[in-house]
Amino acid sequence: MVEAITGRHRITVGADKAYDTKDFVANRRSLGAAAHVTQNTSNPPEKT
């Protein structure tokens, strides 16, 4: 979905704590989007 957005404006993507991973955040950044993810503090699988 992010790659389908046209234009030069800032793109932000919100996600819940299940997406609190390095890969998710890195992928959004590579698409030019800022990821806003709820931090998983109860059982984090990896640091972001």
What tens digit of pLDDT does each residue of 23-42 get?
999 999 998 889 989 888 88
H/E/C letters for each residue in 1-48? CHHHCCCCCCEEEEECHHHCCHHHHHHHHHCCEEEEECCCCCCCCCCC
Q: Whole-model pTM?
A: 0.66
What the block records as the tokens of 8 is: 């030069």
Residue 15 has pLDDT above 80, yes or no: yes
